[in-house]
Amino acid sequence: MIPDRKQGSASPLPLQPRDDHPLIVVGITHPQTLLVLTARLRALKAAGFRVVLISSPGELLDRVALEEGVEAIRVPLCRHIAPVSDVVALIRLYRELRRLQPAVTEFSTPKAGLLGNLAAKLSGVPSRVYMLRGLRLETLSGLRRWIMFSAERIASACAQVVVCNSRSLCAQALALGVTPAHKLRLIGFGSSNGVEIDRFSPGPDTIRDTLGISRCAPVVGFVGRLTRDKGIPELIEAFDEVLAAAPGARLLLVGWFDHCDDALSESLKQRILAHPQIICTGFVEDTAPWYRAMDVMVLPTWREGFPNAVLEAAATGIPVVTTISTGARDAVLPEVTGLLVPAGSSQAIAESLLRLIRCPADRMRMGRAARAWVIEHFVNERVLALTVSFYRNLMENSGALRKAGFVRDVAAVAD
């Protein structure tokens, strides 16, 4: 788990003085989501909006708020079902929104999406957005699936717009009946953040020397939370098959063991930690140098919204093996920037990894195509400009911008 579990009261951090700029409240369940949210906050603030961030307490929340110059409010939110604390959190969210009176709210992640959008509806926020970053229910069954489906339905019903991270996520939300088609939106080609192509770029590799990995050794990389839904059990099985054919291969797991409801078993965790050819880094804040140590990146996930790690690897010129799951399949052009495999198939994962390990020409061709594709569609300036434009239009249509006399300033940034 990332080192960010600091509990506290629901009292807000000191707020900046009120002004006449339209106010956007961005709400998430846990501060770890800020790892893919900071550029979005920065873009909205740079466009002239007043931004307030609501999240469970944590050091990452405090640090990001300070670094990005946004206001932050601590409201403890449990990721699991907790009726009493959920009711308390709903009341606190309602009171904060009544006090702030934002022009628009954007809540995302399941618990914040449910409670935040419900509180926004009850408090009369004029423009309410549910940012759908993935569908947790896809990997659930029975009562838990029904509960999660109901939560998604309520969150979407309370929102006026449901913004999806990817095209396939839009299609899945519609197919499952989470929300009607008229509420669904896709901004650009997807992704809520885009990629910093100067930071994530091909360049010298310093990681292999630090870790003592031979320059000749094939390195398979993974970046993200180490959980069942990310396909880690299948990846470990696939890597054993890879080792049988390429004994010098190494598996680089750049991520942490997340203690959530799809956490890995203790036996698998110990197997990973004890494996002589698997390197597990734990939480890494700056992942950019680690991609340069990889020959190929793999994300054997069962569900996604739009995986940032795949775009980051692609921008670094690394081909990616991922699955045909929701969200993941949007992040790879099959046979052009990488390979797609069925979710849950360790054999298909191993075969695809071995194909790329054995063929440097294919790796180089796909890596070049991957970076070109990211530059064409997912440069963060482009993605964030579209986001600013989306909120400008949303708020202008609701009258919030005209009321603040703010249309001209924001339009200049969005254009």
Q: How far apart are the first and last CA of the chain?
A: 40
Residue 176's CB: how many other CB atoms inside 10 A?
15
pLDDT of res. 79: 82
In contact, 40 and 67? CB cutoff 8 Å: no
User: What is the Cβ-side half-sphere exposure of residue 115, based on CA atoms within 13 angstroms?
Assistant: 31
| Residue linked to tokens 């054999």 | 347
Nearest to 57 by CA among 118, 112, 12, 113: 12
Beta partners for 334? 338
pLDDT of res. 237: 98
Nearest to 119 by CA among 25, 10, 8, 192: 25
pLDDT of res. 397: 77
pLDDT of res. 409: 35
Q: How far apart are CA 347 and CA 341, in angstroms?
A: 10
Profile the chain (415 residues) by mean pLDDT over runs of 10 residues: 40 44 93 88 92 95 92 91 91 97 95 97 96 95 95 96 96 97 95 92 94 95 97 98 97 94 94 97 94 98 96 98 98 98 98 97 98 96 94 78 40 32
Task: To the nearest 10°, report the CA torsion of 308, 290, 297, 365.
Answer: 100
In contact, 208 and 292? CB cutoff 8 Å: no
Tokens read off for 304: 């996604």
Beta strands in 194-282 (DSSP E): 219-223, 250-254, 278-280
Pairing state of beta strands 23-27 and 104-108?
A: parallel
- SS3 state at 337: coil
pLDDT of res. 5: 37
Q: How far apart are CA 299 and CA 168, in angstroms?
A: 17
| Residue linked to tokens 């959980």 | 227
Pairing state of beta strands 71-74 and 104-108?
A: unpaired
pLDDT of res. 127: 94
Helical spans, DSSP H, in 292-334: 308-315
pLDDT of res. 35: 84
Q: How far apart are CA 21 and CA 69, in angstroms?
A: 15
pLDDT of res. 395: 84
Nearest to 365 by CA among 318, 321, 328: 318
pLDDT of res. 21: 81
Q: How far apart are CA 92 and CA 87, in angstroms?
A: 9
Rounded to 5 degrees, what angle do the CA atoms 190, 252, 136 make? Answer: 40
Structural domains of the chain, with CATH: 23-192+379-414 (3.40.50.2000), 207-377 (3.40.50.2000)
